[in-house]
Structure 1
Amino acid sequence: MAWHDVMEAPALRAQPSPFESARFGRSVERLTVSAGAGTELDAVREAVLRSDADVVVLRYPAERIGWFAGLTALGRTAVFADSLVYWRLPAGRGRAPEPAAGLVAEPTRDTAAVEGLVADIFAAYGSHYLANPLFDAAAALAGYQDWALRSAEADRCLTLRDDARMLALATLEEDAGRTEILLAGVVSGCQGRGLYAHLLKAVEDRTLARGATEVVISTQGHNTRVQRAWARYGFEPVQTILTAHLVRNSLLPGRE
């Protein structure tokens, strides 16, 4: 979920999600309340009641802790789907590892390689989609692959490799002042060797080279392992966003 949408957008944002709708065979709408918006629950309630989507994926700041109870009274089934935790690093302040011989960071547009890396790295990732019985896990993984391919096509995909193969991947969103890491990880057979820190350094170096000033990243709240790696590198937590899926009752067994 883009940093601007959850941190800076000035108002409630509602938009259909054609990619998710096509992927899961259910109409999906995204409804996002940013940390910077003064949106009240009444406005969220009205937007949900207006929606014709089968599933409304709602994201809102975790400090609005009383909202979920209100979401259960809108004629839909409210499914809690974990949280997103956002972290930030001022570019140039990372605790970078010492250079490793034979390890090279480079961009790639190799779509087959990107698809394979995402399939390996994120095969067991517990995304918010898995909370919803209407959403297939294989389709969710395919969605991450499609997302990564769009980054590769825009030349915003970094890999870490040795002489033999690609070892890690980071896909990026970039604007004048910021790099957002969308997906990042190390292939399953090479985890636990310190490679992830080298991947973060590659992103930070690229950020500095183009004159931007910060790197941001997010993950599901349960993914504490990667958050420990971010903390070691120098990232700091900024915001937690809750995710709820509001599903039409008629689509769920026993809730018709």
Structure 2
Amino acid sequence: MNRHDVVESEAVRTGPSPLESARFGRSIERLTVPAGSGAPFPEVREAVARSEADVVILRYPAEHVGWFAGLTALGRTAVLADTLVYWRLRAGEGRAPEPVPHLAAGGPLGADEVRAFVRETFAAYGNHYAANPLLDPAAASEGYVEWALMSAARDACVVVRGAAGVQALATVEEDGARTEILLAGVAPAAQGRGVYAHLLREVEDRAVSRGAAEIVISTQGHNTRVQRAWARYGFEPVHTLVTVHLIRNPPW
């Protein structure tokens, strides 16, 4: 979900999610309340009431601290599924590490490389799907593979290679003056060695080379380790969304 949809859009966004529905074998809809929409809770309540999906994945600005209580009275089971936090960096102002001889930007990745890297690196990542007992965790993990393969197919991957092969990978969405990092990780065997900062540097270099003004990235609120890395590099926190899964009663 890109930052424009969740922060800058002026309208509540709602609609089916065919990829997620196919992945989990349940009908899933997305309902997003952007920060710039100013939408009141009754508009959200009406959108939920119209939905016939098994699961509505709702995201709304975290400052609406009273909304969750209202969500529990909509005839669905409301499952709190963490928060999504956004950070931003002005392109060209990052605290990039000096290049090191054993790490270098890599070329395009083959599909098998993408699958192997993502499955190993994100196997234990606790995304918002993990909060919903009706959704298969293995299917959620494969969603990252699917996401990365689509990025690789359109040359939207940034890779750092070392002597042992792919050390880090980021997938990006490049839209005008903004580069958004969608997925970023370091191979388990390379973690704790400063590789992540080199990955951020490669993304920043790519953004600067095409004239982008800012880089944005997001993660689940519980993932404080990576947020510390962003802060060290020069990113600043800018926005937080609450994620709630609203499950139809009875579910199926």
Report the TM-score when normalising by structure 1: 0.97
Matches within 5 A, 1:158-169: 158-169=158-169
> What's the secondary structure of 1:243's corresponding residue?
strand
> What's the secondary structure of 2:52's corresponding residue?
coil
CA RMSD, aligned part only? 0.9
Unpaired segments ≥5 residues, structure 2:
none
Please state if 1:70 is matched with 2:70.
yes
Matched AA of 2:204: E
Q: Larger deviation: 33-42 or 108-117?
A: 108-117
Q: Percent identity?
A: 65
Matched AA of 2:129: Y
Matched AA of 1:140: A
Unpaired segments ≥5 residues, structure 1:
none
Distance 2:226 2:134 in 1: 28
Deviations 1:195-224 (A, max 9, x none): 000000000000000011110000000000
> What's the secondary structure of 2:250's corresponding residue?
helix
- List structure 1 runs of 4+ shifted beyond 3 angstroms: none
Deviation at 1:103, TM superposition (A): 1.1
Please state if 1:146 is matched with 2:150.
no
Deviation at 1:107, TM superposition (A): 4.1
Deviation at 1:109, TM superposition (A): 3.9
Report the TM-score when normalising by structure 2: 0.98
The answer to whether the 8 Å contact 1:60/1:242 transfers is yes
Q: Larger deviation: 106-115 or 125-134?
A: 106-115
Matches within 5 A, 1:48-197: 48-197=48-197
> What's the secondary structure of 1:251's corresponding residue?
coil
Deviation at 1:106, TM superposition (A): 2.8
Please state if 1:36 is matched with 2:74.
no
Deviation at 1:112, TM superposition (A): 1.0
Deviations 1:132-169 (A, max 9, x none): 01111100010111011111111101110013311110
Distance 2:113 2:220 in 1: 25
Distance 1:189 1:64 in 2: 41
Q: Larger deviation: 205-214 or 97-106?
A: 97-106
The answer to whether the 8 Å contact 1:156/1:173 transfers is yes
